[in-house]
Amino acid sequence: MVSLVIVSHSTRVAEGVRELAEQVTRGRVRVVAAGAVTGTPPGTCYDSVRRALETVANEDGALVLVDLGSAILTTQMALEDLPAARRRRILLCEAPLVEGAVAAAALLAAGASVEEAAAEARGALMPKMVQMGVGPAAASGWTHRPDWDAMAMVTVTHPLGLHAEPAGLFVQAASRYQSDVRVHNVTRNTRWFSAKSMNNVSLLNVRRGQEIAIAASGPDAATAVSTLKRLVESDFASVDASPPASAARPHCSSPHPVGPGPGAAVRDAIAFVQAHYSKPLTTAGVAERVFFHPRYFCTVFKAYTGVSFVEYLTRVRLARARDLLTRTDLDVSDVASRVGFKDPNYFSRVFKRSQGLSPREFRRQYCAGLNPPPV
């Protein structure tokens, strides 16, 4: 997995920026915070930076962002101390820390190379400058494009508009298609900007209740526009944004894995539960396995299955428990342990609430095979 390393004098700053980046990536990029020394005054710890770099050097590549002063010098020194082969996988970038981290995180989560993410991070101050009226007007957008292959209009209802986390998801979804995908703030009458750039999407300054137009030209234009429209309509929560396998990012010279889309993630999670239901599974643990943020994973899982992840896991365990109770002579406590319940008493309560009978009553009624066990 590709990584993003945040180096700051302050632990709170580093952790805060990491939190912002993770809201955008939702588990598709490893984000590491490092650098701060213990105590005051704030400073940069060489050992902390070195450990972080050693951790990510063996992975698919890493982008490093720093704040200022000794953070730069310490990171440079730690990089120089790494073996050349491992050092080549890491890129130290001069981009602004907060804005750059969020912009880079969105692009990395979409499968961009470290170099592409660094270029995005370097331009991350432009949206803020334009929105605050202190920078040049954006010239990269188009005033119009008459020959779109597909176009749709949609009103943004998300409380945050098209900012931060929702913008990151929008960029990730758009970046998975071969077509040139553009977006336009109809309410503000902006230019058409690339939907595959966090910086460009931020220039639209889309707020709740405003209407946007999404358009695309290319081999999968209709699918791209339809997916993005549904993504906006769902408030960025329940749309499978994965394109067909042929829709790889054409401009990414060294793409990185970004994890499965929502539909595939749910299928992978179900397969994992079926194989490992007897283990101490947690929602967060399974979400991490499919590269999703736990909260988003819960939303997607229920949207696809109709039940929560915890309820599904309980159903699988109880189904196996019914089988063991009717086909073996295992003690109830052993049955509980084999299907993933640590506490036999809790297992009995859950079983009775579901089946209307205690495990022992269930066994007495159905073990003779005179009546089929309930499903």
- Global pTM value: 0.53
Whether 168 and 24 have beta carbons less than 8 Å apart is answered as yes
d(CA 339, CA 147): 58
Q: Which pLDDT score, from 0 to 100, does residue 292 have?
A: 67
Tokens at 53, concatenated = 């770099």
d(CA 337, CA 305): 26
d(CA 332, CA 324): 9
Q: Kindly write down the DSSP assignment for every residue of 334-362, as one continuous string.
A: HHHHHTT-S-HHHHHHHHHHHHSS-HHHH
pLDDT in tens, the chain (375 residues): 789 999 998 888 999 999 988 888 877 888 999 887 665 566 788 888 998 888 887 767 899 999 988 888 889 999 999 888 888 889 999 999 999 999 898 888 888 888 888 888 888 887 777 777 665 554 444 455 556 888 889 999 988 788 777 888 898 888 888 888 999 899 988 888 889 888 888 888 898 899 999 998 888 888 889 899 989 988 887 444 443 333 333 333 333 333 444 566 777 788 889 889 999 999 988 887 776 677 777 887 887 788 899 999 999 999 999 989 988 989 999 999 999 999 999 999 999 999 999 999 998 887 655 454 554
One-letter amino acid of 1: M
φ and ψ of 171, to 5 deg:
-65, -45
Q: Among candidates 333, 326, 331, 339, which has minimal Cα distance to 373?
A: 326
d(CA 19, CA 17): 5
d(CA 186, CA 306): 36
Q: How many helices (H) and strands (E) does the chain have?
A: 17, 8
Q: Are strands 192-194 and 211-217 parallel, antiparallel or unpaired?
A: unpaired
Whether 363 and 325 have beta carbons less than 8 Å apart is answered as yes
Q: Which pLDDT score, from 0 to 100, does residue 243 have?
A: 37
Q: Kindly write down the DSSP assignment for every residue of 73-108, as one continuous string.
A: HHHHHHHHTS-HHHHTTEEEE-S-HHHHHHHHHHHH
Residues 6+ apart with CB under 8 A from 372: 366
- The 10 Å CB-count burial string (b at 16+, else e) for 328-354 is eeeebeebbbbbbbeebeebbebbeee
Residues 6+ apart with CB under 8 A from 47: none
Report the residue count for the chain: 375
d(CA 165, CA 163): 6
Query: Where are the strands (E) in the chain, listed by range?
Result: 3-7, 30-34, 62-66, 90-93, 150-155, 180-185, 192-194, 211-217
Catalytic residues: 163
Q: Are strands 211-217 and 62-66 parallel, antiparallel or unpaired?
A: unpaired
Q: Among candidates 63, 171, 55, 59, which has minimal Cα distance to 119?
A: 63
